[in-house]
Structure formats: C-alpha cells, structure tokens
Homo-oligomer: A and B are copies of this chain.
C-alpha cells in the first residue's frame, strides 16, 4: 500500500486513533520521544543476539518477521504522532536531512567505505563519528 498512500494519510490514521481515546494530553513531545525509543529497543531486541548474516536470515522466519514488522510499525506510529503533535512535515524533514547528509557524505568519497578510512579530516568529538559513521 506504500505506493498509493500519502504520508499525510498515515498521519491522519494515527491522529484519529489518538483523538478517539482522548490521549492527546499524554502525547507531550517528551513522552512521544520516549515512546519512539522504547519501540526502537523492542525492534532491536529481535536481532540482539544474531550476527549480520543470521539477522538477515531471520527475516525469512515468519514469526521473527512478524515481530520485526510490528515493532517497526510501533516506531512509525510514534513518529507520526510526534509529527502530528509538533506540526512537522515529515517529507520536508526527511528531504532536508538527506540533502545535509549528501553534503556531509559525498557519494564519490564515501562509496562503500567507512567514515574514518574515507576521510582525511581529523577525528571529530570523541572519535565517535570516525569509528562509527552514519551510513545514512
């Protein structure tokens, strides 16, 4: 359904669910950001003890796949609720972040490589970025 549904349609679905329960007052930006983080951790839990190869294979297992899909949906639902609550245009936000990332990680220089190896630039704060690039 991703082909025929706008992001606004998705936002409206979540908005209706929240309004029907009068849950708006629980939906402070702070609480919603926690909700996103909690559900992200539940998604991560599916893959926690798997290595790269078996985490990919896992998605062919019906039960694990359904679990991953449900947790991903939960993350998305809270993201949509956050955007509803704070009046953020998600498409605009994603577009402008990708543009920023394109400047930061020019395709030519970062093709298939890690941050530290690919940059001549000195390591940044705490060396985090250089040992752990964003890869998006």
Which residues of A line the B interface, CB within 8 A?
Answer: 1-11, 13-14, 17-18, 20-23, 25-31, 33-38, 40-52, 55-56, 58-59, 61, 63-70, 72-83, 86, 88-98, 100-102, 105, 107, 110-112, 114, 123, 125-128, 130-136
Contact = CB atoms under 8 A, between A and B. Distances in A.
A59 to B, nearest CB: 5
Total copies of this chain within the assembly: 4
Contacts of A134: 35
A136 B42 CA distance: 15
Contacts of A17: 98, 101-102, 136
Contact of A48 (B35, B51, B66): B35
B13 A8 contact: no
